[in-house]
């Protein structure tokens, strides 16, 4: 039996409805924050991702040659494609540009809990602005989205890549060692970092100071001991975030993020309920456009791991109730089948979700199916009632039923779907 | 400068909003017809598509080996994946099962007008039922969707693969030649079909009769001359479609469809405005599940070419107006920036789409940006007004402005978005 490829998933109707529900919350929140959706292809030239993340990324990519011998890769993330889109199509638009995206990404790695080879990311970027307000806007949007999903417990940690970089530069760490050291610090792999720093000749005392920075965690007051502009900058970011109504943020200068292209503020959101793999969102300010052939343009963005957020919501006990079918249409006898199709068509035309027996089933069996698919109502069309243009309307939950005029089915069902009725134009 | 790969597209905000608008219509119509969404991976084992379409499909696939040396292919269509999903996960669910899907598909071919290497399909399948009602349901849903998109001109052609197959069998066409002949007839390549049929020894007279079948077009009355059960079957399908309110269908026994797995009814929808490449939708009844290791289960489905439908709508002159940002927030002086973030946060919390100057711009420049991004209103926050908890509200279209209380901004804007206000829970 052919299965879906390893690390990928099939989404069945109930799960898909739940996913669309949460996706729409993110979409609405993004739009309320002034972001507009873009979409890029599922695959790109592999070069794009190498330019962003370095050649090691190739080990994790689904990369292949197309029939024209071009090196192609399924996208492992959507920041690089978004900035490529900007460079190609939007570089002359008024700045700042605020975009968001949602879709599949691909990483060839060992599948594990909450991590898949095909996974879903939601993200947003502000392109063409480099101010504390810009960073605050991005963090506010990310947090508003997570709150919009009703996740109860989460932690927002905001740092500044400049603080550590400055300290490392002052300590004599050469440019080519910088990324390696930062990656160790990002993972809190202090012993390994100590070995590298010691090897370069950084003193024990300075190493201690470096480690201290990565352990700087708390309210705005911890920024007092930060030298240089970064402290002042983060203080402004925090003030704007607070003004925007976000009270969940804390300073954490240990937030380093793995990649070279970050330029200043970096942040992460964690859901403690997820345990070890608790990061659900990450972002920061960066420049990428010049790597793709454009002018250098400052941006700030974030990406949210959709699958992990959904897992966190599940672990917190959130459930999603599927929307039931409004009505299942049942002919009481075979000569009513055409009549049943007519009524079904009329109900659908006014936006009622209606299904109809198509298998020529006897009434009892059709009613059993209506119950199995969880229909709210059944409408039974019998010859006798049809003569007076009536039907039998049955509430599947209570079992109550009554004879109603065909034109009154809708009103009798009292069908208000979420307080908002679907009409032809929706 | 890195570009998106050939045959793929970037979708910018206005276009993306238009695409989502139409996607949502299809989604709503599918749901109203009792179909529920499923989602399958972007790639599958290449074998899946070979089983469905034969080994020639490999020439058109984006096929590659993954790092585990498995033969993988980006999906060229979503019927095979949907049936695989059914076989793997839903085969014990109550029948019929009604599912729909929407997403990217991939075909390696020369890009041309309205045809892309990455393209979008919307489709639906009814699994586990083989009756005229089933076929009528599928055709009704397809047509209701196309009507829902407000496409003005389209043609629904319904045929039955059994009529030609029976005729060819009776004429002595051997099984192994059947597919080839049908493909020629599908393309109305009569000269080539004549050569093959002549080669097998089919008489001129019989060849003429075969061609006559493919030219059988019209209302239900043309079915009178059709021998066997197929005519009676199609007559029933047409009766149910008509009952469902679909009046645009006609019989066309020349609808053959390219693939072996169709078992009976086949149909196509064309948009004449597209010229030569006018087909926007195609489907029929088939069995596939047994090829993928499941039991043999009858299904009927269709796929709609989303890109082509959008092209047809464009050619018919349909335009989509982007939804503007509700309000752009402007501080009249730098000391108002925090206050502006506060008000922005409050407006967003009640669902108003609000954006705010994040670039430290002077008022005139910020107002110019508000106008460039087409905001409906600007809210200017000055020191004087702030002292009385007020702001200046400006209608960007008329240029009218007035001082209003902060708490009254929303009411003063009279913001009813499409008659439906977004709240925290949407």
CATH number of the domain where residue B243 is located = 3.30.930.10
- Looking at the structure, do residues A266 and A151 belong to the same domain, yes or no? yes
Kindly state the tokens that stand for A381.
């069309």
* Residue after which a domain boundary falls, among B259, B289, B315: B315
Q: Tell me whether A16 touches chain B (CB under 8 Å).
A: yes
Q: Which of B6, B19, B23, B36 to mutate to test the interface with A (most CBs of A within 10 A)?
A: B36
A297 and A376 assigned to the same domain: no
Asked if B148 contacts B29 with a C-beta cutoff of 8 angstroms, the reply is yes
Domain ranges, residue B30: 13-315
Alpha-carbon dihedral sign for residues A377, A379, A385, A387: positive
User: How many Cα atoms occupy the beta-carbon half-sphere of B86 within 13 Å?
Assistant: 34
Q: In B, residues 18-47, which contact A (CB 8 Å cutoff)?
A: 19-20, 24-25, 28, 31-34, 36-45, 47
- Report if residue B303 sits inside a domain: yes
Rounded CA-CA distance B173/B79 in Å is 29
Residue A137 in contact with partner chain B when CB distance is under 8 A = yes
CB contacts of B42 in chain A (<8 Å) are 42, 74, 104, 106, 118
Q: How far is CA B298 from CA A202, B93, B288, in A?
A: 73, 15, 8
Q: Of B253, B280, B315, which residue is a domain's last?
A: B315
| Total count of domains within chain B | 2
CB-based contacts of A244: which residues, under 8 Å, 6+ apart? A136, A137, A140, B341, B342, B344, B345
Same domain as B201, residue B311: yes
pLDDT tier for residue A186 given thresholds of 50, 70 and 90: confident
The per-residue pLDDT for B175 is 85
pLDDT tens per residue, range B113-125: 667 999 999 999 9
Interatomic CA distance for residues B194 and B416, integer angstroms: 64
- Domain end call among A283, A315, A347: A315
Query: Greatest CA separation found in chain B?
Result: 97
- Which chain A positions have a beta carbon within 8 Å of B52's beta carbon? none
Residues B359 and B388 both lie in one domain: yes
Tell me: do B294 and B389 sit in the same domain: no
The reply to whether B84 touches chain A by the CB within 8 Å rule is yes
**A426 domain-assigned:** no
B334's tokens = 């730098």
- On the question of a cis peptide bond just before residue A84, with omega within 30 degrees of 0, the verdict is no
Q: What is the CA angle B185-B186-B187, rounded to 5?
A: 90
* A17–B5 CB contact, under 8 Å: no
Give the closest-approach CA distance of A247 to chain B in angstroms.
12
What tokens does B95 get?
A: 């029948």
Per-10-residue mean pLDDT for chain B, 426 residues long?
A: 94 97 97 98 96 88 89 96 98 97 93 82 97 98 97 96 91 89 89 93 94 93 88 95 94 84 93 94 96 96 97 96 94 96 96 96 96 96 94 95 93 62 39
CA atoms within 13 A on the CB side of A327: 30
B39 versus A425: the higher-pLDDT residue is B39
Using an 8 Å Cβ cutoff, are B149 and B305 in contact?
A: no
d(CA B32, CA B245): 15
Q: Could you tell me how far CA B71 lies from the centroid of its own chain?
A: 28
Say whether both A45 and A136 belong to one domain. yes
Report residue B133 CA to chain centroid gap: 23
pLDDT tens digits for A131-151? 999 999 999 999 999 999 999
Q: Do A64 and B65 touch (CB under 8 A)?
A: yes
What contacts B24, CB < 8 A, 6 or more positions away? Answer: A426
Q: Is B285's Cβ below 8 Å from some Cβ in A?
A: no
Task: Verify that A118 and A240 share a domain, yes or no.
Answer: yes
pLDDT in tens, A59-112: 899 999 888 889 999 999 999 999 999 999 999 999 999 999 999 999 998 767
Work out the pLDDT band at A329, boundaries 50, 70, 90: very high
Tokens of B264: 């009976």
Which of A358, A372, A406, A418 is the best residue to mutate to test the B interface, defined by the most B CB atoms within 10 Å of its own CB?
A358
The Cα–Cα gap between B359 and A85 comes to 22
Tens-digit pLDDT profile for residues A270-290: 999 999 889 999 999 999 999
Indicate the residue of B11, B34, B373 with minimum beta-carbon distance to A94. B373
Give a yes or no: residue A320 inside a domain.
no
- The residues in A 208-237 lying below 8 A from B, measured between CB atoms, are none
The 3-state DSSP class for residue B408 equals helix
Say how far apart CA A225 and CA A223 lie, in whole Å.
5
The CATH number that applies at residue A347 is 3.40.50.800
pLDDT for A113 equals: 67
Q: Please spell the DSSP secondary structure of A49-65, one letter per residue.
A: HHHHH-GGGGGGS-EEE
What single string gives the DSSP state of each residue in B204-220? HHHHHHHHHHHT-EESG
Does a structural domain hold residue A3? no
Phi, psi of A16 (to 5 degrees): -65, -40
Q: Which of B358, B360, B375, B421 should one mutate to test binding to chain A, selecting the residue with the greatest count of A CBs within 10 A? A: B358
Are B12 and A89 within 8 A, CB to CB? yes
Q: Is the Cβ of B88 closer than 8 Å to some Cβ of chain A? A: yes
**Same domain, residue pair B77 and B194:** yes
ipTM, two decimals: 0.94
pLDDT tens string A211-247:
999 999 999 999 998 888 899 999 999 999 999 999 9
Closest chain A CA to residue B58 = A67
- pLDDT at site B426: 33
Report the range of poorest mean pLDDT among A164-168, A327-331, B240-244: A164-168
Residue A111's nearest CA partner among B74, B66, B46 is: B66
- Length of chain B, in residues: 426
Closest partner CB to A341 (pick from B240, B337, B373): B240
Residue B311 corresponds to which tokens in the numbers above? 């092209």
Beta-bridged to residue A268, according to DSSP, are A157, A282
- Taking the CB of residue B25, how many other CB atoms lie within 10 A of it? 18
Helix axes B13-32, B306-315, angle to 10 degrees: 110
Helix and strand numbers, DSSP H then E, in chain B = 14, 17
Query: Any idea what DSSP says for residue B388?
Result: T
Reading the block at residue B109, the tokens are 């071919």
Q: Are residues B250 and B348 in the same domain?
A: no
pLDDT for the residue A179:
84
Q: Is residue A7 part of a domain?
A: no
For testing contact with chain B, the best of A11, A24, A34 (most B CBs within 10 A): A34
Query: Is residue A346 within 8 Å of residue A379, measured between CB atoms?
Result: no
Q: Which of B1, B137, B325 sits opposite A292 (nearest CB)?
A: B1
Greater confidence (A34 vs B165) lies with A34
Distance in Å, alpha carbon of B420 to nearest chain A alpha carbon:
8
- Nearest by CB to A43, which of B5, B66, B140? B5
Q: How far is B290 from chain A, CA to nearest CA, in Å?
A: 10
Question: Nearest Cα to B46, choosing from B70, B25, B68?
Answer: B70
DSSP result, A312-360: HHHHTT---PPPPPSEEEEESSGGGHHHHHHHHHHHHHTT--EEE--S-
Question: Are residues A136 and A36 located together in one domain of the fold?
Answer: yes
Residue A425 above 50 pLDDT? no
Strands (E), B225-308: 249-252, 262-270, 279-287, 298-305
Whether residue B173 lies inside any domain: the answer is yes
3-state secondary structure A131-156: CHHHHHHHHHHHHHHHHHCCCCCCEE
**A291 within a domain of the structure (yes/no):** yes
The answer on B30 and B179 residing in a single domain is: yes
pLDDT band for position A114 (50/70/90)? Answer: low
Three-state DSSP at A228 gives coil
The whole-number pLDDT of residue A419 equals 38
CA A73 – CA A68 distance, rounded (Å) = 14
Q: Are residues B97 and B21 in the same domain?
A: yes
Whether residue A274 lies inside any domain: the answer is: yes
Q: Is the dihedral of CA A322, A326, A332, A335 positive or negative?
A: negative
Task: Please state, in angstroms and rounded to a whole number, the distance separating the CA atoms of residues B285 and B161.
Answer: 9
């Amino acid at each position: 039996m052919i299965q879906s490829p390893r690390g990928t998933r099939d989404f069945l109707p109930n799960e898909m409805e739940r996913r669309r529900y949460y996706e729409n919350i993110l979409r609405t929140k993004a739009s309320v924050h002034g972001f507009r959706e873009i979409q890029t292809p599922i695959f790109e030239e592999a070069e794009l991702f190498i330019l962003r993340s370095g050649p090691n990324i190739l080990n994790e990519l689904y990369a292949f040659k197309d029939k024209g011998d071009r090196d192609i890769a399924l996208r492992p993330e959507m920041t690089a494609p978004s900035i490529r889109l900007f460079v190609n199509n939007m570089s002359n638009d008024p700045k700042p540009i605020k975009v968001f995206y949602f879709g599949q990404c691909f990483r060839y790695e060992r599948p594990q809990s909450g991590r898949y080879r095909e996974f879903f990311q939601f993200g947003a970027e502000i392109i063409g602005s480099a101010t504390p307000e810009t960073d605050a806007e991005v963090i506010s949007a990310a947090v508003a989205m997570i709150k919009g999903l009703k996740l109860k417990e989460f932690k927002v940690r905001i740092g500044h890549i400049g603080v550590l970089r400055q300290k490392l530069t002052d300590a004599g760490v050469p440019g080519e060692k910088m990324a390696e050291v930062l990656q160790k610090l990002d993972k809190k792999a202090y012993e390994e970092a100590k070995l590298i720093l010691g090897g370069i000749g950084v003193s024990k005392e300075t190493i201690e100071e470096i480690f201290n920075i990565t352990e700087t965690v708390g309210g705005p007051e911890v920024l007092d001991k930060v030298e240089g502009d970064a402290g002042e900058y983060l203080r402004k970011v925090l003030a704007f975030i607070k003004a925007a109504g976000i009270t969940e943020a804390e300073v954490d200068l240990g937030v380093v993020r793995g990649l070279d292209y970050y330029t200043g503020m970096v942040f992460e959101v964690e859901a403690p309920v997820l345990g070890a793999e608790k990061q659900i969102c990450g972002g920061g300010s960066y420049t990428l456009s010049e790597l793709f052939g454009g002018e250098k343009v400052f941006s700030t963005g974030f990406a949210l791991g959709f699958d992990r957020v959904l897992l966190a919501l599940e672990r917190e006990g959130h459930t999603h109730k599927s929307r039931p079918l409004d009505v299942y249409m049942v002919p009481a006898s075979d000569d009513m089948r055409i009549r049943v199709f007519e009524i079904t068509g009329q109900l659908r035309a006014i936006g009622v979700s209606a299904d109809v027996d198509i298998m020529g089933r006897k009434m009892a069996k059709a009613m059993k199916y209506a119950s199995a698919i969880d229909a709210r109502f059944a409408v039974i069309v019998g010859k006798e009632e049809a003569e007076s243009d009536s039907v039998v309307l049955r509430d599947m939950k209570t079992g109550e039923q009554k004879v109603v005029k065909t034109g009154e089915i809708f009103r009798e069902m009292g069908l208000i779907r979420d307080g908002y009725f679907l009409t032809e134009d929706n």
